[in-house]
Amino acid sequence: MSQNSIEQLLNIMKQLRDPESGCPWDTKQTFASIVPHTIEEVYEVADAIEQQDYKELQGELGDLLFQVVFYAQMAKEQNLFEFDDITATLNEKLIRRHPHVFSGKEFADEQAVHANWEAEKEKERALKAQAADKDDSVLDNIPLAIPALSRAYKIQKRCANVGFDWKKLAPVIDKIKEELDEVLVEVKRDDLTEQQKQLRIEDELGDLLFANVNLVRHLKCNPEQVLRQANHKFETRFRLVELEVFKQGRLMSDCSLEELEDIWVKVKDRLNSDAAY
């Protein structure tokens, strides 16, 4: 994007927010009110990438950039900061976090580069905590609004960076088995009210999910991406099951579970066979 196109975009946003001649929808928005739209745009970017639709990705990235410009305009109106302040802060951060690129500093390997990156982020957290007059924690600044699966992953990574982590896979797997057993204990209890029992089950299920995220992390995968792939795989198979049932002139609700499972297995085998070629 050229400087002129950036300036044009900023001017468009300024006009949209003009109290007298702007767009009624844009003028009434606040920081809080457009957060859901920002989150939606992020997911639409991710979806375009997953679909490998790069023409669509171009448009979705523009929509996401518009969100940044929207926040910048509102901040300017309140004398908080401007778009140039956003880019200046970003430029400074990127240069500081990449001394091996911009300052000639040498690192032994990629692991050392990553360690330096984490050290810089730790300094930033400490400075923020100092400015807010509170104790510093490695868990500071992990957004509450991100999906719980991603947040669990980030929490675990932060803890691992300071050594609070198993070094081998066996105890990670043992922990999952332990948490599953605890879920089943709560399921079988009959000495609680239904509400109490449900709360206990939810608590133990949360521990089980957290333990599974830990396994995914130890196997060097991202839980959000892994689950997205699983969702896509299940959806693909289920749609084919629906199609097979439709070809038989039947409804899903007319089939027994055994019949549907038989079709599912055949669909799965066919897809696996196609993938082999």
DSSP of the chain: --HHHHHHHHHHHHHHT-TTTS-HHHHT--HHHHHHHHHHHHHHHHHHHHTT-HHHHHHHHHHHHHHHHHHHHHHHHTTS--HHHHHHHHHHHHHHH-HHHHS----SSHHHHHHHHHHHHHHHHHHHHHHTTS---TTTT--TTS-HHHHHHHHHHHHHHTT-S-SSSHHHHHHHHHHHHHHHHHHH--SS-HHHHHHHHHHHHHHHHHHHHHHHHHTT--HHHHHHHHHHHHHHHHHHHHHHHHHTT--GGGS-HHHHHHHHHHHHHHHHHHHH-
Return the percentage of the chain with pLDDT > 90, whole number.
71
CA distances from 184 to 113, 179, 188, 201 (A): 44, 9, 6, 8
Considering only residues 263 and 133, tell me which one the structure prediction assigns the higher pLDDT. Answer: 263
pLDDT of residue 3: 63
Mean pLDDT, range 174-196, rounded to an integer: 95
**pTM, entire model:** 0.68
Mean pLDDT, range 132-146, rounded to an integer: 81
Using CB atoms within 10 Å of the CB of residue 269, give its burial: 0 to 12 exposed, 13 to 18 middle, 19+ buried: exposed
Mean pLDDT, range 216-239, rounded to an integer: 94
Mean pLDDT, range 21-31, rounded to an integer: 96
pLDDT of residue 276: 63
> Cα–Cα distance between 114 and 240 in angstroms, integer?
44
Mean pLDDT, range 23-30, rounded to an integer: 96
pLDDT of residue 273: 81
* Cβ-proximal residues to 76 (8 Å cutoff; 6+ apart), any chain: 82, 83
pLDDT band (50, 70, 90) for residue 123: confident
Over residues 237-255, the pLDDT tens digits come to: 999 999 999 999 999 999 9
Is 99 a residue whose pLDDT tops 80? yes
Over residues 251-274, the pLDDT tens digits come to: 999 999 999 999 999 999 998 887
Over residues 187-220, the pLDDT tens digits come to: 999 999 999 999 999 999 999 999 999 999 999 9
Is 186 a residue whose pLDDT tops 90? yes
pLDDT band (50, 70, 90) for residue 69: very high
Mean pLDDT, range 2-7, rounded to an integer: 80
b/e map of 26-65 (b: 16 or more CB within 10 Å)? beebeeeebeeebeebeebbeebeeeeeeeebeebeeeee
Cβ neighbours of 175 (radius 10 Å): 18
Mean pLDDT, range 96-112, rounded to an integer: 86
Residue 34 in contact with residue 17, Cβ under 8 Å? no
User: Which of 67-71, 81-85, 141-145 comes out lowest in average pLDDT?
Assistant: 141-145
pLDDT of residue 2: 56
